[in-house]
Amino acid sequence: MTSEPHSPSSAFALELSDLPGGELLSRCIQCGICTATCPVSSVSDIYRPRKLIQKILIGKREEVLKSDIPWFCMTCRMCEDRCQEDVSPADIFQAVRHLAVQEGHVPEIFRSTARLVLDDGWILKDSYSDFIEDDREDLGLDTDLHWNSEFTERVRKRYLGGIL
Ligand code: SF4
Ligand code: SF4
């Protein structure tokens, strides 16, 4: 059963409501079932999906976009299954992250992981040399996997030039 969207909402809430994933934001009644369900909340002292949605609803735009907290969501969607208002915190936080990226706010851990993938073309390249290369050699296979650095450089420039 769902209720009618509430009003008024903050300018930030309205902005997010226009983005893919944010459409049902105004249905949130702040019941807290998402937080009670969330496996990340159960191991974190600071990640609370209900509280994050509250900050959005009351318009804490800069605080939310510059925060690492929206990036904690691992998109398991357990909260979405339990929410009685059909709200998806995962989709809302994805919309928040899209907006944050557009404005240059990406947590360093995500930047460094993306850089690693783009540098290597494969996140496991370092372990490759120590582990897979030996096995491939034993099997008489080619040990040069021809990392396509030209391709990853093109990806970096085209999609991530302003971010990384
Ligand atoms: S997203 Fe759903 S479960 Fe979470 S506080 Fe809002 S209404 Fe409750
Ligand atoms: S989708 Fe995100 S907010 Fe929802 S339960 Fe999973 S980790 Fe928590």
Q: Ligand 1: does its nearest atom lie under 6 Å from the Cβ of 29?
A: yes
* Structural contact between residues 26 and 15, judged by C-beta atoms closer than 8 angstroms: no
Q: Which of 101, 120, 122, 126 is nearest to 111 (CA)?
A: 101
In order along its 164 residues, the chain shows pLDDT tens digits of 555 555 557 999 999 999 999 999 999 999 999 999 999 999 999 999 999 999 999 999 999 999 999 999 999 999 999 999 999 999 999 999 999 999 999 999 888 888 777 776 666 666 666 667 788 888 888 877 776 777 777 877 887 766 66
Beta-strand (E) ranges in the chain? none
**Domain 11-102 = CATH 1.10.730.10:** no
**Residue 25 exposure: Cα atoms within 13 Å on the Cβ side:** 32
Residue nearest to ligand 1 atom 5, measured at CA: 30
Q: Per-domain residue ranges for the chain?
A: 11-102, 108-160
Question: Which pTM was predicted?
Answer: 0.79
Pocket of ligand 2 contains residue 69 by CB under 6 Å: no
Cβ contacts of residue 76 below 8 Å, gap of 6+?
Answer: 39, 90
**Cα 47 to ligand 2 centre (Å):** 10
Residue 48 Cα, ligand 2 centroid: separation in angstroms? 9
